[in-house]
Amino acid sequence: MPGPGALPTGGRAVAGAELLQALRGAGRPRPAPVPGLDRRLREILEAGIGEELASLPAGVVVRATKGTLEEVGRCEAGMVARLAARATMPASAEMVAGSLLDRVFALVVIGRPAADPVGAALEMADAEADTGLLASWSSLVPEERALATQLVTEMAGSLAAHWPALPHQALPRLQEPLRVSLGGGRVLLTGRVDLLLGRPAAERAGVTLIDTKSGHPRHQDRADAWWYAVLETLRHRVPPFQVGSYYLRTGWLDLATVEADHLLAAAEDIARALLQLVRLAAGALPQLSPNPLCGWCPALPGCAPGRAYSLERGDYLPPRDDDDDDGADDGDDDGR
């Protein structure tokens, strides 16, 4: 999902009272309500998948998340390969650290930062019966656990130093699930928002929606935030006031006011990606779209277009699927 091209970009490090003011949207004009905006968004999404739904096999439900939409927009075949690989791929230290940090963030937001953030996050996971996270933590070798602990501890320290105490009127809601059904239930859009502040109201946009990031800023982060904005608008039938990302490593906040035009552009992007997902679920052959992330694609060893693209960029190339096991030079023209 490329994200609306017209969206503003930006962000900067903010902390304490200044961060609280930004989360409140102090000094930022609130967009006037646009009657029927939620209906228009739904029409765009339903129209995008419309006729293709008839080709879905009986009983098949297409589930879309921000991750699958991003991946299918980049390369359909790459998304299919990643889904298959993920089923057997062990969790990395960075992935586990990201999941632990979701819980550390929750503790800080409710005013209970922990001296031992990893231990506190694992306790929360245990209390919530999050067996996936507990199993992922257990699967890490000692070096990976040390790396995950280092990442979590560093970011927890930065977070505790930067994040303001929230007044109770802020009504913080953490890890709130969002779910939108389209096409009579044949397509489900799901997400989980890290933090929602404020109360939705038809007469005055009132909600700030924050997606926390443990990694470095990416262009895609904007599209992620707008994905949540579209889901939130469909859920409450009124748009949030502002959406964006908070970067745990640096204390950067990148917030944008939710204008109707941006929401509509985001819905158009989502609709295009949904159509791809529905076609694939209906049995269409996945298309190959070489891109800068081919180097991280599990299909790369057997993907000629991806290899050619990566070779042109000078990226690392793994052995081809049909390379000899004995490692003898077979004249592979990529020379790597």
CB of 287 to ligand SF4, least distance (A): 8
| Residue with smallest beta-carbon separation from ligand SF4 | 306
**Does 62 engage in binding with ligand SF4 (CB under 6 A)?**
no
**Does 317 engage in binding with ligand SF4 (CB under 6 A)?**
no
CB of 303 to ligand SF4, least distance (A): 3
Give the distance from CA 321 to its chain's centroid. 31
Q: Distance between CA 259 and CA 33 in Å, rounded?
A: 10
Q: Distance between CA 58 and CA 60 in Å, rounded?
A: 6
**Does 132 engage in binding with ligand SF4 (CB under 6 A)?**
no
Pick the binder of ligand SF4 from 3, 31, 244, 306 (CB under 6 A).
Answer: 306
Pick the binder of ligand SF4 from 189, 266, 303, 317 (CB under 6 A).
Answer: 303
Beta partners for residue 189, in sequence order: 64, 180
**Does 77 engage in binding with ligand SF4 (CB under 6 A)?**
yes
Pick the binder of ligand SF4 from 95, 288, 308, 311 (CB under 6 A).
Answer: 288
**Does 299 engage in binding with ligand SF4 (CB under 6 A)?**
yes
> Using a CB cutoff of 8 Å and minimum separation of 24, what contacts does 190-194 make?
190/63, 190/64, 190/65, 191/65, 191/66, 191/227, 191/228, 191/231, 193/228, 193/232, 194/102, 194/105, 194/246
Q: Near ligand SF4 by CB under 6 A, which window of 24-32, 151-159, 252-260, 298-306?
A: 298-306
**Does 107 engage in binding with ligand SF4 (CB under 6 A)?**
no
Pick the binder of ligand SF4 from 24, 297, 326, 328 (CB under 6 A).
Answer: 297
Site track 156-195 with ligand SF4 (rule: CB under 6 A), x = hit: ----------------------------------------
Quickly count: other Cβ atoms within 10 Å of residue 63's Cβ. 11
Length of the chain: 336
Q: Near ligand SF4 by CB under 6 A, which window of 26-34, 225-233, 256-264, 303-311?
A: 303-311
Contacts for 149 with CB less than 8 Å, ≥ 6 apart: 118
CB of 215 to ligand SF4, least distance (A): 20
**Does 300 engage in binding with ligand SF4 (CB under 6 A)?**
yes
Which one, 21 or 289, has the nearer CB to ligand SF4? 289
CB of 149 to ligand SF4, least distance (A): 33
Beta partners for residue 188, in sequence order: 63, 181
3-state class of 58 per DSSP? coil
Residue 52: closest CA among 254, 232, 245, 281: 281
Query: Do 154 and 247 contact (CB within 8 A), yes or no?
Result: no
CB of 270 to ligand SF4, least distance (A): 21
Q: Near ligand SF4 by CB under 6 A, which window of 97-105, 208-216, 292-300, 314-322?
A: 292-300
- According to DSSP H, which parts of the chain are helical? 16-24, 37-49, 66-74, 76-86, 93-109, 117-127, 131-139, 142-162, 220-236, 260-281, 304-313
> Under the rule (CB under 6 A), what is the footprint of ligand SF4?
75, 77-78, 81, 288-291, 294, 297, 299-300, 303, 305-306
